[in-house]
Structure 1
């Protein structure tokens, strides 16, 4: 009777598990930065416990009995803020759309593309309030200063949205224009612009929504509008008037957001055929 030898199982050369050393080090560094920032920040953390009570106290002062005697002036100042936001959005779109298109890959040359992107990054790094403070020395305490600040500050973000939208488009139409002998300008005009127009219009309306909120902040530094009125009455501790102003700001902002959102949905989705909803 002969014994049969069982072959030894093959030794599998399994790959080593991926190293997560970089992620671990990055998480430790981020946690250390947060802890050091919280420890060195000169803030009264104990006063946070009193925040709910103080918030309720000021809410009662502002909204228990709002002073509606200055409603018409508040509506006028709100209209100035809306005008400021609209002019700033127009200035931003007019400048950022062509610049953003030249910053897109395949449209502008490399030196111009990188230069424009650097300019957009620098503008995004400067808050609207700082731009308004710089412009105040030239244009004075007027709503036009706020409109200029909103327009200049929005170019950085709007330009980034434009070139990212252009670069996300399909290359079929652009290749067809190039195959027919078209240059960069022809590609941008006949292939990229029609395809990107709905998204760019939606971004322009969104920029207007952002400017509505920011215009109230710019009023705090003297740029005019409802923000200046809020700042003045807050300094004088007239909380009933401040409450009325906040109600006006909230209602106006919500109405504009609803109208702008409906327009943006109409632009992106297109008009529905009549009778479709009835059939459904």
Structure 2
């Protein structure tokens, strides 16, 4: 006789239908959108804009472009170049003032370097300075220094401390490694930690930020000239007030070309600092 075979019963397969995820609520996003839209409408209504004038804007723009650049007046070019150089000098002096002050203060504002109370004070100071535009600082300085290019340079230097100081302490906090602790373990002071541990690690980034500050100052120096701080901005403001549009066009060409040239030179130097010098053999092969 053959042994009876037992058939194992297979359990019935129950396939559970996956439930669809809950639809995310967009109530918060809708509320934010409504609030932003209401603010925009309130701002637009408060300006009392005559929207019928928008149709005449393109024709007016073309008209004044023809007055300025068809053709520009090149008789004042030597003086324009002199004033442009004054604006560049003002921007450079302002950048030096900013960097010299912001680097040590920014290092003290970094975590692990200065005490907590000092970090709080310095970061608050940087925030206050960033909240005040360069033009306001220049207007406050006019009562002390008068209408001189030094006023513009000092305003650029003070206004840049807020942004530059923030860049410094963020850079220091991102590059901190064991070198700072090693210097402290060897008995080094805060100044020695900054000199021998932090500065070598952050030098390239901080110098790059300093050159970028100089680029920003070049653009801002033209704006400060509009309030009498000197430079190409003052010349541009004067000829605009007297409606000498052909001279204004020449000045705009000089400002744009000078800004582009300085940006190109500064950008090349910043890339050299960040990337380092290439070996001569590599330069020839490339």
Summarize the Cα distance change of 1:27–1:190 in structure 2 as closer, same or farther, 3 Å threshold: farther
Summarize the Cα distance change of 1:18–1:77 in structure 2 as closer, same or farther, 3 Å threshold: same
After superposition, what is the alpha-carbon deviation per residue over 1:210-268, rounded to whole angstroms, capped at 9, x for unaligned? Answer: 11111111111011111111011000000111111111111111111110000000000
Q: Is the 8 A contact 2:176 2:198 kept in 1?
A: no
Summarize the Cα distance change of 1:17–1:108 in structure 2 as closer, same or farther, 3 Å threshold: farther
Q: Match of 2:280, SS?
A: coil
| CA deviation after TM superposition for structure 1 residue 18, in Å | 5.7
| CA deviation after TM superposition for structure 1 residue 47, in Å | 1.9
Q: 2:25, 2:89 → 1: CA distance?
A: 56
Equivalent residue number for residue 226 of structure 2: 220
1:28 alignment partner, one of 34, 37, 53: 34
- 1:208-247 alignment runs, 5 A limit: 208-247=214-253
Equivalent residue number for residue 252 of structure 1: 258
| RMSD (CA atoms) | 2.3
* Structure 1 unmatched runs, 5+: none
Equivalent residue number for residue 45 of structure 2: 39
Give yes or no for the alignment of 1:180 onto 2:186.
yes
Equivalent residue number for residue 121 of structure 2: 115
| CA deviation after TM superposition for structure 1 residue 28, in Å | 2.7
Give yes or no for the alignment of 1:61 onto 2:67.
yes
* Structure 2 unmatched runs, 5+: 1-8
Q: Is the 8 A contact 2:87 2:221 kept in 1?
A: yes
Equivalent residue number for residue 199 of structure 2: 193
Give yes or no for the alignment of 1:279 onto 2:285.
yes
Q: 2:178, 2:77 → 1: CA distance?
A: 56
Summarize the Cα distance change of 1:206–1:5 in structure 2 as closer, same or farther, 3 Å threshold: closer
Q: 2:107, 2:218 → 1: CA distance?
A: 26
| CA deviation after TM superposition for structure 1 residue 11, in Å | 9.7
Q: Match of 1:68, SS?
A: coil
Indicate the structure (1 or 2) with the bigger Cα radius of gyration.
2
- 1:78-227 alignment runs, 5 A limit: 78-227=84-233
State the number of aligned residues: 278
Summarize the Cα distance change of 1:6–1:191 in structure 2 as closer, same or farther, 3 Å threshold: same
| CA deviation after TM superposition for structure 1 residue 36, in Å | 2.0
Q: 2:77, 2:142 → 1: CA distance?
A: 28
After superposition, what is the alpha-carbon deviation per residue over 1:143-175, rounded to whole angstroms, capped at 9, x for unaligned? Answer: 111111111111111111111111111423223
Moved more, 68-77 or 176-185: 176-185
